[in-house]
Chain A
Amino acid sequence: MSGALLLTMLTLGGVGLYLAMPGGRLNYGRAALVVLAGAAALLVALVLPLLGAAGQRVWFALLAVVGLWGAVRVITHRRPVYSALYFVLVVIAVAGMLLLLQAEFLAAALIIIYAGAILVTYVFVIMLAQQAGGPAGYDRRAREPLAGVLAGFILLGALATRLANAAGEGMNAAAETDGGVGTVMNVGTELLTHYVVGVEVTGLLLLVAMVGAIAIARRRPEPSEEGEVA
């Protein structure tokens, strides 16, 4: 991976994301779209030579672009419901990548748990707290978008340059298998032999979280002056 190309991609991505952020200025949505499309094209051009088989390349490029596009929309959309729906898109793209990585059971579990369970909770809460008459003021203006985007992309730049160096050094070319790595049987055996204590602790964690959520949600706010509620 060439460093200059990488930096161009990161700059384009940062500028596009900044333009797409909800802000008090005019609507730069179209310009942001063009810039982000450029960044995506560069990303695909950078990453594709590193991948193996041709079929895998096409799927990876598709899933990467769809997933990152969904992620950008999650953090830039002004309506929370649409953010939640774009997050489903991200989950589906990530599940596709897990399939490419031969984690078949995990891909199915991710869709069922995230898109099926967690996102439904989110949508319910958004419906409960929905405000009439378009997006609220705090959804229309981001908090310090420039500083946030800069900080995030500096972190990403540091990570990506290091990763690019690692790719140049020739990391381990793993064995190609014909799928079946992450089947239910394999994952289940692994979980119930090596990680059996973890499974028990996870069960306890879920129980505590359930009890806690019910306890919190049952509390009634007492009428008192602002800032005094306990």
Chain B
Amino acid sequence: MLVPYLLIGATLFVLGLIGFVTRRNLIIMFLCTELMFQGIVVNLVAFGRYPLHGNVPTLDGQAFSLFLLAVAAAEAALGLALVVLLYRYKGTLDAGVWTLLKDD
């Protein structure tokens, strides 16, 4: 019962990871972090519903997920403010443009 949900959660997380690594658009990269959050929410709630010890559903996973939602909202607000600022400087969303700290 637990395993299918964990599998879907892992797949969502990995897809977000791949997107974060391969896409070059700053907004899409942030969107991919949200995709990873979705995978984690599925995992947390599944572990709460089908706990490994005992067979009484617990609510800890859902409480963690609610905190995760708050963190995701804060991250989206700050991240998008940064993206807007970066866009104002260079007029592009390409992540490869920002090479200030690159050693070459």
B-binding residues in A (CB < 8 A): 1, 17, 21, 43, 47, 50-52, 60, 64, 67-68, 71-72, 74-75, 80, 83-84, 87, 90-91, 94, 97-98, 101-103, 105-106, 109-110, 113-114, 117-118, 121-122, 125-126, 128-129, 136-139, 141-145, 147-149, 151-153, 155-156, 159-160, 163-164, 166-167, 171-175, 177, 181-182, 186-187, 190-191, 194-195, 198, 202, 205-206, 208-210, 212-214, 216-217, 219, 221, 227, 229
- Closest-by-CB residue of B relative to A205 is B74
- State which of A17, A106, A141 has its C-beta within 8 Å of the C-beta of B45: A106
Given contacts A101-B5, A138-B96, contact A144 B22 (CB under 8 A): yes
- Closest-by-CB residue of B relative to A86 is B31
Given contacts A71-B15, A94-B38, A117-B73, contact A122 B27 (CB under 8 A): yes
A-binding residues in B (CB < 8 A): 1-8, 10-12, 14-19, 21-25, 27-28, 30-32, 34-35, 38, 41-42, 45-46, 48-57, 59-63, 65-67, 69-78, 80-85, 87-89, 92-96, 100
- State which of B15, B31, B42, B60 has its C-beta within 8 Å of the C-beta of A83: B31
19 A-B pairs with CB atoms under 8 Å apart are A50-B3, A51-B4, A68-B12, A74-B19, A110-B41, A121-B76, A122-B31, A125-B84, A126-B27, A128-B87, A136-B94, A137-B94, A159-B10, A166-B3, A171-B52, A172-B55, A181-B49, A195-B63, A219-B85
Asked if A216 and B78 make an inter-chain contact with CB atoms under 8 angstroms apart, the answer reads yes
How near does chain B come to A184, taking the closest CB pair, in angstroms?
A: 11
How near does chain B come to A203, taking the closest CB pair, in angstroms?
A: 8
Contacts of A142 in B (CB 8 A): 22-24
Asked if A160 and B77 make an inter-chain contact with CB atoms under 8 angstroms apart, the answer reads no
Contacts of A198 in B (CB 8 A): 63, 67
Complexed CA–CA distance, A193 and B3 (Å): 30
Given contacts A152-B14, A175-B55, contact A101 B46 (CB under 8 A): yes
Contacts of B1 in A (CB 8 A): 50-52, 171, 173-174
Contacts of B54 in A (CB 8 A): 172
Complexed CA–CA distance, A202 and B64 (Å): 11
Contacts of B71 in A (CB 8 A): 202, 205
Q: Which 8 A-B pairs have the closest CB atoms?
A: A75-B19, A209-B74, A152-B18, A148-B22, A138-B94, A174-B50, A216-B81, A148-B21
- State which of A121, A143, A155, A160 has its C-beta within 8 Å of the C-beta of B17: A155
Asked if B96 and A143 make an inter-chain contact with CB atoms under 8 angstroms apart, the answer reads yes
Asked if B10 and A80 make an inter-chain contact with CB atoms under 8 angstroms apart, the answer reads no
How near does chain B come to A85, taking the closest CB pair, in angstroms?
A: 11
Given contacts A68-B15, A75-B16, A98-B41, contact A144 B21 (CB under 8 A): yes
Asked if A138 and B66 make an inter-chain contact with CB atoms under 8 angstroms apart, the answer reads no
Asked if A87 and B74 make an inter-chain contact with CB atoms under 8 angstroms apart, the answer reads no
Contacts of A72 in B (CB 8 A): 15
Asked if A114 and B34 make an inter-chain contact with CB atoms under 8 angstroms apart, the answer reads yes
- State which of A105, A148, A217 has its C-beta within 8 Å of the C-beta of B84: A217
Asked if B81 and A212 make an inter-chain contact with CB atoms under 8 angstroms apart, the answer reads yes
Complexed CA–CA distance, A163 and B2 (Å): 10
